[in-house]
Amino acid sequence: MERVIKNELDSGFAVVRPPGHHCERDRPMGFCLFNNIVVAMHVIKKRYKDMGTYQRFAIIDWSVTAKKKKSEKRGRKKEVDVHHGNGTQNLCWDDKDVLYLSIHRGDNGSFYPCTGFATDVGGHNNVVNIPLLREMGDKEYIQCFENVICPIVESFAPDMILISSGFDACIGDPLGGMNVTPPMYGRFVHYLYNNIAWKHGQVPGIVCLLEGGYDLETMPKAACCIIYSLLHKSFDEEQFLRDIKDAEDFNLWKQLIKTKKEHPRAAKYFEETLKELFDVHSGHFPLLAKTNKFKELSNREKSPNDIVVINSSQKVIKKNRITHVMNNYTKKSIKALQQK
């Protein structure tokens, strides 16, 4: 990070082990002993505090981490630990100068540790969670970057972008259960360089830190795409394949696509997630309202019983579905509002 600050490097990719985004303030979790990205960020913030620079950070977490264990109640195997960067979120919750933005497998909040809901907003509207459904892939991630991540990062205008780069969302990963292709990881970085109107046209330094990832066939390919995108500040898959050696071997991942099927509820689930994100965050990040998806969803007719607005900050509770109770309201107060 400091070499990027000193202009010795344009960007960086830190290959660190163990990963860190699950580690809490007072305990390790999910293979994570230290929260690497938060520790590094605070070192930089302290070091440059007197200069008044590098105090504002955006952390983008595209990790998915999973493991399986037996259900104590039914004695059968069940996926119970596909979750987002709970540790990083909690450590950044009250810091108005840190935007934490996570895109992760959520499965309706049914997986341990049951965090990362779209209605979690942090102490200063600085937390944004995009919970997805298992088996989602490039199509959903593209929409997330174009309609949520890029406009929010642009609104926040950080001094530096830090990326918790997990590869367990990559297709073929034995634990993640998602279908993100290796080239899509290159496009993630491409979006940050090319889909945001940076102030004075100056893109802040981007530093990636390795998180999870457990498939040794697709993970290196995805990492290669990220590094290529960092070096070139853009990513074109055809040009990338011309530039690398053994392009045919690289494309072996495409055989996996033939075996994958889209989740039957994917389209409906994803649209509901986007609606919820827009309802919760568009008041604080006005650029969201300028996205094509926001306009599309806004133009559709809404049932008068579809949502209940809690206050002018556009935090909402949706009826007729199970949702996470927002931190700023108790269950009792929400029930009272719904009865009126």
Residue 80: per-residue pLDDT:
28
C-alpha–C-alpha distance, residues 53 and 62, integer Å: 26
Residue 258: per-residue pLDDT:
82
Retrieve residue 220's tokens: 């290196």
Q: Looking at the domain assignment, is residue 192 inside a domain?
A: yes
Please list the rounded mean pLDDT of every run of 10 residues in the chain (340 residues). 96 95 92 95 97 96 58 35 74 97 86 79 97 93 97 98 94 89 97 95 96 92 98 98 95 88 89 96 96 91 46 39 37 42
Q: Is the peptide bond before 304 cis (omega within 30 degrees of 0)?
A: no
Domain boundary among 257, 290, 310: 257
207, 313: one domain: no
Q: Looking at the domain assignment, is residue 271 inside a domain?
A: no
CA-angle at 16, arms to 182 and 83, nearest 5°: 65
CATH of residue 174's domain is 3.40.800.20
Domain that holds residue 318: 301-340
Whole-prediction pTM: 0.84
Domain count, the chain: 2
Active-site entry in 22, 83, 84, 190: 22
Short-list 47, 19, 46, 14, CA closest to 35: 19
Q: Looking at the domain assignment, is residue 116 inside a domain?
A: yes
Short-list 126, 159, 162, CA closest to 285: 126
Q: Please tell me what DSSP assigns to residue 171.
A: T
Q: Looking at the domain assignment, is residue 262 inside a domain?
A: no
Residue 166: per-residue pLDDT:
92
Q: Give me the residues paired with residue 79 across strands.
A: 68
Short-list 178, 149, 169, CA closest to 161: 149
Q: Looking at the domain assignment, is residue 37 inside a domain?
A: yes
318, 183: one domain: no
Retrieve residue 150's tokens: 């890029």
Q: Quick check: is 324 catalytic?
A: no
219, 320: one domain: no
Residue 185: per-residue pLDDT:
97
Q: Looking at the domain assignment, is residue 106 inside a domain?
A: yes
